[in-house]
Amino acid sequence: MVVSPAFPVCYAPATRGTLNPAQCFANVSGFPGAAGGSEPAGRAGAVRRRATRPGAGQGLCYVPVTVWDPALERPPALGLRSWKPLGKRLPSLRADKRSSSQAPADCPLGKRLPAVSGEGNTVADISEMAHTPPTIYDVARMAGVSIASVSRVLNGRRNPREETRERVLQAVAELGFVPDGAARALSGRVKEVVGVVIRRVRWVQSSEGEFAEQDESLIFTDVINRGIELAAQQQGFNLLLSSVDVDDHDLSGRLLALARKSDGLILHDRVLELAELEEFSRRVPVVTLANVATPTTVNVHSDNHSGMRDLARHLLADHGYRTLAYVAGLGDSPDSVARGETIAAEASAVGATLLTGPQWQGNYYASGGARVIERLMASGGALPRAIACANDQTALGVMYALAQHGVDVPGDVAVTGFDDIPMARHLRPQLTTVRQPIQEIGATAFDVLHSMISDGAPAERDVMLPTRLIVRASCGCPSPPTSPPWRAA
């Protein structure tokens, strides 16, 4: 039973059926409506059935009763025929002959609501009595316009009249109304969700020792996804993350299911073949990472050619190395292919030897780089003077395996990476690498996809971010000081 704390519990003779409110009030001593029950009916509640005490003459009501609760209605000055119960819509203000005991009609869309008028009808009065946040119906009532007009102003659609717009915005400001993001997205058919798909190696227990868990390490991918996430948060979007096996390119069914839940997709390193990608992207906006642009997609990547060219020239010209090896990433990765082709061209230009092939493929993992060195040492093959790796994680595995066999880096073999992930500067020796803006790649990918969702076709189909050579000690350059100069002094 809902009872206002300001009034006592209603006592009345136990009867069948519904107790008349006036009868209830007449039996309550000191109740404001006791004299004739003149107070209006309030909110109904049920009283638990209890045994009547012998000789008491009257027992506690066990039938539904109606109790006046001023906290649950709006002040009479609002001119409402009935009050607004918690969680219910405001009643229609049309004059009719229905009794106040009937449920109030919902306010129909397109019906202009009369502006609030009369004494005491201030925003403070309304907010003081309301127990729920203001709704679009409250905004429409205060502005004196229809619900549809409020919706058009808030969603920026169909160019509402300036007078209507100003009245709605003023009501929104005075009421402190906050539009519901989910409702706006539904009306605009925007889910505010972006799907992100990454590639991973099918998990098997293929590594031992120090790299037993490295096959599942996705440091570079995680940093990219962090950039996507931060950019999405700024626009009020959420992410749906999915992963696929590196060898699985028949994903039309799975990706379509993900696309139905998203406004667009960001696909990592070669998730789909080009023909499938172009067909799929005609159904949903798609941005790819480390791929190639198509007439219907946008590709975001770093400048692999410039970065690897600078690194190769540093090894070949600055250090004079003439025997190099390239430890590649995934076989179909456009990034790995571009870097391999660039270092091959630079080595050929100066007459240097470059070792490549299946035996030099590390698949972007530290465990893969370590296995390349282990196989080479087991076969008795000669080590190159410098090893350039497709990414930093591969270089980490190569350096570890060389150290296990007593090979000095960089004294015997120079080692370099690509990416400049955070751990690269903490290795000993510190890793010479090519820095690409990893997190910015992810943020840029989302920004491009968001523009495609909002505005349609993007300004360009191929977005390339710059890279920079980072020279440290692993290539044979002098080691940086281990402590600040002021401390050494």
User: CATH assignment of 304-437?
Assistant: 3.40.50.2300
Residue 52 has pLDDT above 60, yes or no: no
Report yes or no: 480 and 473 within 8 Å, Cβ to Cβ.
yes
List, in order, residues 6 or more apart from 411 with CB less than 8 Å away.
none
Q: Look at residue 460 in the predicted model and tell me its pLDDT.
A: 83
pTM given for the model: 0.60
Residue that wins the pLDDT comparison between 348 and 19: 348
Which residues neighbour 158 within 8 Å (Cβ) at sequence distance 6 or greater?
152
Tell the CATH topology of 73-91+105-186.
434 Repressor (Amino-terminal Domain) (1.10.260)
The percentage of the chain sitting over the pLDDT mark of 90, rounded to a whole number, equals: 39
- Looking at residue 291, its pLDDT comes to 84
**What's residue 15's pLDDT?**
41
pLDDT at 441: 95
pLDDT of residue 135: 81
Tell me the average pLDDT across 190-209: 71
The rounded distance, in Å, linking the Cα atoms of 339 and 403 is 26
Q: Which residues of 306-337 are buried (b: 16+ CB within 10 A; e: fewer)?
A: bbbbbbbebbbeeeebebbbbbbbbeebbbbb
pLDDT of residue 251: 60
What ranges in 281-411 are assigned the alpha helix state H?
Answer: 304-313, 334-349, 366-379, 392-404
- Per CATH, 193-299+439-461 and 304-437 having the same topology is answered yes
Question: Looking at the DSSP assignment, which residues form a beta bridge with residue 434?
Answer: 469
Mean pLDDT of 362-376: 93
For the cut 80, the answer to whether the pLDDT of residue 159 exceeds it is no
Closest to 329 measured CA to CA, from 374, 358, 361: 361
In the beta sheet, which residues pair with residue 244? 199
Closest by Cα among 272, 294, 256 to 199: 272
> pLDDT of 107-137, one tens digit each?
444 445 555 444 444 454 444 444 567 888 8
Give residue 248's pLDDT.
66
pLDDT at 406: 97
Hunting for tokens 């060898």 — which residue is that? Answer: 247
Count of Cβ atoms closer than 10 Å to residue 378 Cβ: 8
Q: Where are the domains of the chain?
A: 1-71, 73-91+105-186, 193-299+439-461, 304-437
pLDDT in tens, 174-188: 887 766 554 544 455
Measure the CA angle with vertex 393, ends 390 and 395; round to 5°.
65
User: DSSP of 440-479, one letter per residue?
Assistant: HHHHHHHHHHHHHHHHSS-S-SEEEE--EEE--TTTTSPP
The mean pLDDT of 271-277, rounded to a whole number, is 81
Question: How high is the pLDDT of residue 211?
Answer: 60
What is the pLDDT averaged over residues 448-457?
85
Q: What is the pLDDT of residue 434?
A: 98
How much helix, strand and coil, in percent to the nearest 5, is found in the chain? 35, 15, 50
For residue 245, what is the enclosing H or E element?
Answer: strand 238-245
Q: Among 5-9, 150-154, 446-450, which is the least confidently predicted range?
A: 5-9
Mind listing the pLDDT tens digit for each residue in 280-299?
888 889 999 988 888 889 99
Is residue 398 pLDDT above 50, yes or no? yes
298-302/286-289 β-pairing = parallel
pLDDT in tens, 21-45: 444 444 444 444 444 444 444 444 4
Highest mean pLDDT pick, 38-52, 165-179, 269-283, 310-324: 310-324
Q: Assign 35 to helix, strand or coil.
A: coil
Answer whether the bond into residue 429 is a cis peptide, omega within 30°: yes
CATH 3.30.365.10 fits 193-299+439-461, yes or no: no
Over the chain, what is the mean pLDDT? 74
